[in-house]
Structure 1
Amino acid sequence: MTTGPAGEDPAVRSDENRPAKAARRVALGVGGAVVLLAALDAYVVVTVLIDIAEDVGIPVNRLERATPVVTGFLLGYVAAMPLLGRLSDRYGRRPLIHACLAAFALGSVLTALAAGEAMVVAGRTVQGVAGGALLPITMALIADLWGERERPMALGAVGAAQELGSALGPLYGGLLAALPRTSFLGVELGGWHAIFWINVPLAALAAVAVHRCVPPPSPPAVRAADGTGAVERADGTGTVGRVDGTGGALLALALALLVAGLYNPDPAKAVLPSWGLPLIAAGLLAGAAFVRWEIRSPVRLLDLSGTRKGPLLATLGASFLTGAALLVTMVFVQFTAQTLLEMEALEAAAQVLGWFLIALPVGAVAGGLLARRLGDRSVAVTGLLVAATGYALMSRWPLDLAGARPQMSADLVVAGLGLGLVIAPVSAAVLRVTPAAQHGVASAAVVVARMMGMLIGIAGVSAWGFYRFQSLTAHLDTPLPFGVDPAVYARRMADYLARVDAALHLEYTEMFLVTAVLCLIGAVVALFMPGRGA
């Protein structure tokens, strides 16, 4: 064992030198607030996606062109999360958090100023890269400041901030988007733009709080000489951090290729574009290369060595499928309310999607309590089965949704409770099968898996859904008011809109049925999660 000058254990010396409890709690609060800010923006566009689409010139019958606004953020979020978390080992937590907050503010400004699709997607992607890095850096900060015995509670608080963002994000976005539209020097400040403008002062306040409350960087890094291309930091306490740049690049490449292959800007003739299958195949190859690299490399992006791989992968798989169901619900329930019930963004989020958002944290709390008595695996399987039931009921929503509001609310509560039940058992199961020293990276792995599920799930399910809508409406001709009696035109337009609504209704209900199948698959996967004695 390496010892200090007087034969002292560095780990003991490190514990003695940890900041006082009050200072650590303040740092935890600041870190949690930073994570919450990023988590809110992961879900904030759910409420206003149609409004953004309209403002940047995307018609309501071509909403497939708006999906990169969601997937761009998620891609940046997932790709950056493990890599930049490790990079903070080299440069220190505080400088990396500052850099991420600055990039987050920049991405917000780009999004708020966007006048076209490309700029919105670019801004959201920059936001995603910055936001995705904040969670693992904060978790690494917790590992720096808390001893092994106290660390799980602190990590749980940061995880709770991440989960809170999923519940509050759509409502938060709807509230800000409800601000009156105003402009200054030709720059739009109100409406959905306010969601992103407010991030600038919030990021600045967070940066000040981080500077005052987060400890300064450790001693400088030195480059590893093992030929892996990693960087290494020796901080005087025996802590060593390395950055797996190759693994990070392979993961980002795999995800980018899969998402690009699933995105079809013109789904009128096929589910996938002409380049879809080649890009998906290339993405799978890149994913295989990533797995091979992680097995063989001495430096791993998510180092969970020493754990039982079967139960671990099953748990992460359940988290992946839960994430897919979660985002499909948030996006397409909101679409349903705004297109078929003709609600405003905030009204739709509060009165329709809100039932799901309320049930989700209630289910999460219940899942944590039940898992103590029944075990993580049993509760996760039950939760996914309950969620599958909720989505199966949602797939049977009638065309006359205005007369079925109580049924919609009840079904959304069932789905939300089911998915909520899965959250705590999945996190607890991963922590139970990993050594205490790896709890930070294990917690990040659960979130990475869920966000990957959101990314791939929304890309794949929406590709099918938008293709179905285009195929259902391909034979419809938009009525024109020229050369016909106004009454005839009004009748034709009403018939046309009724047919479009019927196509949208079928699209949405089929997507909820697909989501029910995903939850059933998730329940089967969850059967292989670690049992009580694991």
Structure 2
Amino acid sequence: MSSLATEPAGTAVRGRRRWLALPVILVGTFMTILDFFIVNVAIPSAQAELRATDAQIQFVVAGYGMAYASGLITGGRLGDLYGRRRVFAIGLASFTVASALCGLATGPVMLLAARVLQGVAAALMFPQVLSVITVTYTGDDRPRAFAGYGAALGLATVGGQVLGGLLIAADVLGLGWRACFLVNLPVGAVTLLLLRLVPESRSETARTLDLAGVVLVVPALLLLLVPLVEGRQEGWPGWTFASLAASAAMFALFAVQQVRLSRAGGAPLVEPSLFRSRSFTAGLATVLAVYGGMASFMLVIALYVQDGLGRSPLGAGLVFLPMGVAFFATSANAARFTRLLGRRTLTAGALLVVAGEGCLALVTRNAGSGVNLPLYEALMAVAGAGIGMVGAPLLSQALSGVGPGDAGSASGVLSTVQQMAGALGVAVIGIVFFGVLGGDPSPATYGRAFAASLVCLGALAAAAAVLTVPDRWWGAPASSAGRAGSR
């Protein structure tokens, strides 16, 4: 159950205030995801100015993601315990300070440390967004709220490429790459002032933080993520496989400890009963396929357009625009699709991704540098429209069977699986892309590498489509999925 600051326990916030709260918390989604992508544009200039080594600059990128992903489960549970708005505020304030430190960095070590702090702060902030949506919006309002979440996600994903290129090209106040981090300061400050619009909520059943669970799950996640992020560039040495094996053992210990604590009447970091919800477990499996493909799709697009076609960072960002517009359009209308199609919205969206990526593979495989760019952008828009149809409704459906008291824990698990899927997808698709590219890259080999990657990504999207079909896996008929939030 949930207690809200201005309402009786278990009652969703009514009236206009709850819709004023939505854009405020969605800033957390936008800032977190934006900083995944905007740094890719800032890195070349930052490396040159700070005289950073390749290894240092690689960890500037990876350190944020690993700190973020390893803290999501803990961050979600902290919101259950101490108040979701309070933990969101702490995360947002810390993220804003860390962004300032990134922008003021005098050397690579300072930049790396600030990026890790950004990741920790994002892990506190991001799960609260899903939690607040889950406990505040019910019935037909929940798909509408998740549609806003999906639109913010899409804007940040594509906007990171475009905004970063524009800021560096404009060289505002001579800041160069530093503007990519300092842009977070006014956004964070204004959002902190508006947080009073967000209702407070917390779990009435969670009592204390499961420190033993934290000690087990954070190393388990790091042991998984570090080899996935670093393995390909290091040539997959023996330590990467040892780390993956150790991660599996740590996760097994974590699972045993969580079950025992729950049976003893304690408050585990992840409530095992969550996995009795068929919509939650089926949703997690589908998230693995969808988000594993999404992150690696963005990677191979950037590699193909910038390195294969020779576009500038800004030019590459503009190539993303049609896809971003389509993603935003379908995300913003996801609630309408869900009312019409129920869970079949997920199936239709995944099949659109299959169609877009399959046709892109045919168009680019033998095109070299002479690819038909308008056709390429149109097919990117098809794939983007499909991703937008899947993203927000999938998260809404996955969380539909979760009670308010476990909203933070469930959001942390769901967000963690998103990040794990992204890291795994990038690692696997990276092997395919660079394996086909070979040691003598040219526009022709980039086209073949891109096409081979798209075939694998299309297979992932097809798997996602299959996962969304059987009603017994989701615990409800497909036609009722759009009303899941009302149960």
Q: CA deviation at 1:426?
A: 1.3
Which stretch of structure 1 is more off in the superposition, 431-440 or 104-113?
431-440
Contact 2:143–2:396, Cα closer than 8 Å, also in 1: no
Partner of 1:319: 287
Contact 1:167–1:360, Cα closer than 8 Å, also in 2: no
Partner of 1:97: 88
CA gap of 1:445–1:514, structure 2 versus 1, over 3 A, is: same
Contact 2:323–2:380, Cα closer than 8 Å, also in 1: yes
Within the candidate set 150, 156, 166, 2:146 is matched to 156
Partner of 1:256: 222
Structure 1 CA distance for aligned equivalents of residues 337 and 432 of structure 2: 36
What SS does structure 2 have at the residue aligned with 1:297?
helix
Structure 1 CA distance for aligned equivalents of residues 404 and 64 of structure 2: 31
What SS does structure 1 have at the residue aligned with 2:74?
helix
CA gap of 1:443–1:16, structure 2 versus 1, over 3 A, is: closer
Within the candidate set 508, 523, 528, 2:450 is matched to 508
Structure 1 CA distance for aligned equivalents of residues 391 and 324 of structure 2: 14
Q: CA deviation at 1:96?
A: 3.0
What SS does structure 1 have at the residue aligned with 2:237?
coil
CA gap of 1:98–1:371, structure 2 versus 1, over 3 A, is: closer
Structure 1: gaps (5+ residues): 2-8, 184-188, 219-232, 474-498
For 1:29-53, what per-residue CA distance to the aligned partner results, in whole angstroms no more than 9, with x for missing partners?
Answer: 4333344333322332344455556
For 1:132-170, what per-residue CA distance to the aligned partner results, in whole angstroms no more than 9, with x for missing partners?
Answer: 3213334555677x4867983785376344454334333
Q: CA deviation at 1:297?
A: 2.8
Residue 281 in 1 paired to residue 245 in 2? Answer: yes
Letter in 2 for 1:388: V
CA gap of 1:21–1:367, structure 2 versus 1, over 3 A, is: closer
What SS does structure 2 have at the residue aligned with 1:275?
helix
Structure 2 CA distance for aligned equivalents of residues 526 and 148 of structure 1: 22
Partner of 2:30: 36
Contact 1:104–1:130, Cα closer than 8 Å, also in 2: yes
Partner of 2:398: 430
Partner of 1:485: none
Structure 1 CA distance for aligned equivalents of residues 417 and 145 of structure 2: 17
Residue 393 in 1 paired to residue 359 in 2? Answer: yes
Q: CA deviation at 1:85?
A: 2.9
Structure 2 CA distance for aligned equivalents of residues 58 and 394 of structure 1: 37
Partner of 1:353: 320
Partner of 1:408: 376
For 1:445-501, what per-residue CA distance to the aligned partner results, in whole angstroms no more than 9, with x for missing partners?
Answer: 4443323322332234335534554x423xxxxxxxxxxxxxxxxxxxxxxxxx544
For 1:183-202, what per-residue CA distance to the aligned partner results, in whole angstroms no more than 9, with x for missing partners?
Answer: 4xxxxx22x32110122333
Partner of 1:291: 255
Among the aligned pairs, what percent are the same residue? 25
Structural mapping, 1:1-80, within 5 Å: 14=8, 21=15, 25-48=19-42, 68-80=59-71
Structure 2: gaps (5+ residues): 482-487
Structural mapping, 1:98-113, within 5 Å: 98-113=89-104
Partner of 1:5: none
Structure 2 CA distance for aligned equivalents of residues 394 and 56 of structure 1: 38
Partner of 2:331: 364
CA gap of 1:437–1:109, structure 2 versus 1, over 3 A, is: closer
Residue 452 in 1 paired to residue 443 in 2? Answer: no
Which stretch of structure 1 is more off in the superposition, 198-207 or 162-171?
162-171
Q: CA deviation at 1:117?
A: 6.0
Letter in 1 for 2:329: V
Residue 130 in 1 paired to residue 121 in 2? Answer: yes
Q: CA deviation at 1:418?
A: 2.2
Which stretch of structure 1 is more off in the superposition, 107-116 or 329-338?
107-116
Contact 1:257–1:283, Cα closer than 8 Å, also in 2: yes
CA gap of 1:266–1:516, structure 2 versus 1, over 3 A, is: closer
Contact 1:361–1:420, Cα closer than 8 Å, also in 2: yes
Structure 2 CA distance for aligned equivalents of residues 317 and 510 of structure 1: 24
Within the candidate set 160, 168, 184, 1:177 is matched to 168
What do you get for the CA RMSD once the two structures are aligned? 4.0
What SS does structure 2 have at the residue aligned with 1:395?
helix
Using CA pairs below 8 Å that are at least 6 residues apart, which structure has the higher relative contact order?
A: 2
Contact 1:152–1:439, Cα closer than 8 Å, also in 2: no
Higher Rg: 1
Partner of 1:492: none
What SS does structure 2 have at the residue aligned with 1:455?
helix
Partner of 1:227: none
Structure 2 CA distance for aligned equivalents of residues 53 and 169 of structure 1: 19
CA gap of 1:205–1:349, structure 2 versus 1, over 3 A, is: same
Q: CA deviation at 1:315?
A: 1.6
Give the helix-richer structure, 1 or 2. Answer: 2
CA gap of 1:163–1:360, structure 2 versus 1, over 3 A, is: closer
CA gap of 1:341–1:441, structure 2 versus 1, over 3 A, is: same
Within the candidate set 457, 463, 467, 1:525 is matched to 467
Q: CA deviation at 1:264?
A: 4.3
Structural mapping, 1:170-209, within 5 Å: 170-180=161-171, 183=174, 189-190=175-176, 192-209=177-194
Which stretch of structure 1 is more off in the superposition, 167-176 or 45-54?
45-54
The number of residues matched between the two structures is 468
